[in-house]
Structure 1
């Protein structure tokens, strides 16, 4: 008998998770749910899920592992609907980039005996430059050679954490345990800040003097920077992530502004040497980062294959109800 994993939210992340689990169809039944029925049908057509269940309560009622791959704004709405129908021992994973806010949402709404663990997925470096959106951008290898941050709230049992880490390994990634505060600081710098920088560039150029001519000539550098806003979080979720994470966001913006001001002052002073050194250091940093991302040699947690019987036993055993606390 197969065990059920419910995937709620069938965009790039949710469908890619389903595709990554195809090799385990003999033991895992992938149930898919999305607010849009066309996404459910498309995910099924792609063989990312085994069954479409559009009714949320029905989708989660018999599941012990639920994965929310939703925009931040939809996490609260979904949790309010499903929380009363969750069985004791259910583990919910979410993939929102900012965790302190989601952890508070789950803390206040999950019934006793159910547990939430936050996941922050990174992508396979081979897909970093893709401009596809939604289901079209889903790939079975989207998480290969990548790392998932695993954010564990206080009081979550050890065997639930092991289950989450094993789940990450099934997707081809390596789990990295982190404190939610640390995780949010990291994601603000490398996920939120690039989107805000793209927004600032667009606000500084679109419909400003010279734009009528400039729009005809804007090329790859402009497209690359502005795409930080276009290809990631929806605007409402980005707004929520920024406003619920103000301290980290302001700190990241201050560092960016200081760097821009330093470059501006050197240019104004005609300091060609310093400007050249600053640009060269940035270019070399970019090359080093890409090389490290492609090599993916992080010396992190073991990525040895997961024993599927053990995974499913942890998932459906009774040990999650009264567990050892971390």
Structure 2
């Protein structure tokens, strides 16, 4: 029996998931859908998927597993649209950087006998400098030597966690089980805040009268900091990530203000020694993180004996096509 897996969203993450499974088309049938037809076509041409669905409901109605890899501002309306079409026993997997708000929304929308799992994939350190999200930046090994975070809800069965774990290991990633509240707090700092700071910096500089001349003096530092504004988590309704994770975003903004005030005070005091230490600490911390991220040895590396075979994964997937009996 062939497992039917559907991916909604053919950006870098969604297309990479399809590519990671391209050598198993005998066991799994991959269907994709994207609001932008050109993205679906490109992902299909890359052999990431076997079939393109023309409508989102057609993408999910017969699927055993549905993976959402879409912009944050399209999540809620997509959940509303597809929920009635999810078949009994299927599992819905969300890959967005927002956990609690999506979890709470899905718990109210998902019909009985449908299951939910939330994951957040980090990427292979070899591709850490590729910020683009279009399908041409997808890679078959995008999740290798990386970490995939798994969180759940009351609608997450043990079987769903097992499936998420097996798929993550199959992709070559380490697995981290985490509380969704904790994940929201961390992702506000590592995903939302950098893009928010990029936007704030653009306002702080370009809204000034001197920008007409200042724009002529821009080099790599300006480009490096401002380019994140072109890689937001939303397609149209910008800022939705910050809104859906409001308290954590405000907390990280406060932390940023505190840090800026600290260096401002040191400059005001003309405290050269402490200014140097402030920069040195930042440089040391960045270098330490960069080396750790490159090595990706956060946990004990999974041995080959722990990595499930494709047969094991597809056997587990089959269980979601069967309606579970009430205990």
- Indicate the SS of the match to 2:239: helix
Match of 2:254 in 1: 254
Alignment map for 1:275-290 (pairs within 5 Å): 275-290=275-290
Q: CA deviation at 1:55?
A: 2.1
Match of 1:317 in 2: 319
Equivalent residues of 2:234, 2:241 under 8 A apart: no
Match of 2:227 in 1: 227
TM score, norm. by length of structure 1 = 0.94
C-alpha separation in 1, matches of 2:127 and 2:203:
28
- 1:36-82 per-residue CA deviation (whole Å, 9 max, x = no partner) reads 22211111111111111112222212211110101112112222222
Alignment map for 1:146-161 (pairs within 5 Å): 146-161=146-161
Match of 1:212 in 2: 212
Cα distance change of structure 1 residues 19 and 317 upon mapping to structure 2, 3 Å threshold:
same
C-alpha separation in 1, matches of 2:107 and 2:253:
30
Equivalent residues of 1:4, 1:62 under 8 A apart: yes
Alignment map for 1:1-326 (pairs within 5 Å): 1-234=1-234, 236=236, 238-300=238-300, 302=302, 304-317=306-319, 321-322=323-324
Q: CA deviation at 1:163?
A: 0.5
Cα distance change of structure 1 residues 81 and 235 upon mapping to structure 2, 3 Å threshold:
closer
Equivalent residues of 2:73, 2:235 under 8 A apart: no
4+ residue runs of structure 1 moved beyond 3 angstroms? 235-238, 300-304, 318-325
Q: CA deviation at 1:300?
A: 4.8
- Indicate the SS of the match to 1:5: strand
TM score, norm. by length of structure 2 = 0.93
Q: CA deviation at 1:234?
A: 2.6
Q: CA deviation at 1:17?
A: 1.0
- Indicate the SS of the match to 2:229: helix
C-alpha separation in 2, matches of 1:179 and 1:320:
28
Q: CA deviation at 1:301?
A: 7.2
C-alpha separation in 1, matches of 2:238 and 2:170:
29
Cα distance change of structure 1 residues 323 and 23 upon mapping to structure 2, 3 Å threshold:
farther
C-alpha separation in 2, matches of 1:274 and 1:323:
65
Q: CA deviation at 1:135?
A: 1.4
CA-based RMSD = 2.0
Q: CA deviation at 1:318?
A: 5.7
C-alpha separation in 1, matches of 2:110 and 2:290:
40
- 1:87-110 per-residue CA deviation (whole Å, 9 max, x = no partner) reads 221111111101111111211111
C-alpha separation in 2, matches of 1:110 and 1:276:
54
C-alpha separation in 2, matches of 1:301 and 1:126:
17
Aligned length: 325
Unmatched tracts of structure 1, length 5 or more: none
